[in-house]
Amino acid sequence: MTAQFDSVRAIEWRNDRLYLLDQRILPVSETFIELNDARVTADAIRDMVVRGAPAIGVTAAFGIVLAAREAFAKAGADWKRAIEADLQILAGSRPTAVNLFWAIERMRRVMTDLGASNPEARLLAEAQAIHAEDVAANRTMGELGAALIDPSEAVITHCNTGSLATGGYGTALGVIRSAYAAGRIKKVFADETRPWLQGARLTAWELVKDGIPVDLLADGAGAWRMKNGGISWVIVGSDRIAANGDVANKIGTYHAAVAARYHGVKFMVVAPSSTVDMKTATGADIPIETRSADEVLHIGGRRIAAEGAGAWNPVFDVTPAELVDAIVTERGVVLNPTTEKMRAMMA
C-alpha cells in the first residue's frame, strides 16, 4: 500500500563506489556525488551533503568499506592498523548523531573477526545489511506510528525525516507516509526549518514527489497553526534519545513541543533504536553541535542580516521527556517515556 509513497533513495552503492544525492542543492538540482574514500565521505557528512542521523550512520558504514579498500591496498595484511586514522576521521564528522558512532562500532565488531586477507567484501555485506535493515525498520515504525493517529485533518513535522534522512522511507516522514496511505491524515504542514531550510527544500520536495499534500510554515507559525485547529500530532525524528526519553533533534523541535503541549496537540518522536543512547542518562549529557554563524546570517551565499550582527547557531535542541507523548522505534512504542520504560523497550 505504501510503495506508491516511497520513491526516493539518497544513498546508493553502485559500480563499487558510494553515491550520495547532494542535499545542499535540492530541490534545484538532483545531483549524485561519487565518493571514493573515507576522508571525502567524512567531508560529505560534515558539509551536509548527507544529513539525518540514520542516513549518516548508513553513509559512515559505506565509508568504512572505502577505507578498508584503501587500507588493504596500502598495507596488505596490516590493514587494521592502516584503517584506524580513517575511522577516527569518520567519527569526528558530526558529534551529536549517535547513529554515526553506532554504525562505526558495528563495523568494528565485524573487523575484529576478520584476518589478514582483503576485508572489503565482508564489510560491504555488513554496510548493505545496515542499509537494508534501516529501510525495513522505517517501514515498521511507519505502521506503528500511523496506528497512533486517529483520522484527522493534518499533522505538523519539523526538519526532514524522510528518505533523504535515512536509508529510505523515513522515520517521522515514514509515519506520515503510512498515515496518509491509510487515510488517517489528509495533509502535512512542514516547518521551513531555518537555517538550512530542510523543511522547505527537502521535506516539501519528498512529499510533492510522492503526491502527498504539503503546506510550508515559517518556523514561528506553528503555534498559531495549532491554535487554529485541525492538527492532531506534531511528528519529528531524533538524532539522539537519552535513556530517560529526552530527545535531541533539529533546533526548533523544543519550540514545537512546548507549543504542542499548550494547545493539546500530541507530540511523537520517531527514530530507530540505534538512536537511543542508554549510556546517556539525560538530555543534559548530549553534546550539542554549534555551527558557523554564517549559516544564519546568509541564505544561498547572500547575506541577509545587517553587517556587524552576530548569530548563535546551535544545530540541535533537547526536548524533555515530559513533553513527549510517544517514542516510536522498530522495537515498539513507548508512551510518556521514562527511564524504566525506555530500558524495558531496549532490553
Provide the annotated active-site residues: 239
CB-based contact 154:187 (threshold 8 Å): yes
Rounded Cα distance, 307 and 221, in Å: 27
The C-alpha cell at 336 is 510518556
CB-based contact 70:38 (threshold 8 Å): yes
Instruction: List the one residue out of 161, 250, 260, 254 whose CA is nearest residue 204.
Output: 161
Main-chain dihedrals φ then ψ at residue 342, nearest 5 degrees: -65, -40
Using DSSP, state whether 151 is helix, strand or coil: coil
CB-based contact 160:206 (threshold 8 Å): yes
Rounded Cα distance, 207 and 201, in Å: 11
Instruction: DSSP for 237-296, please give it.
Output: --SEEETTS-EEEETTHHHHHHHHHHHT-EEEEE--GGGEETTS-SGGGS---B--THHH
Report the interhelical angle of 53-75 vs 98-112 (nearest 10°): 40
Q: CA triplet 84, 19, 176: central angle to 5 degrees? A: 105
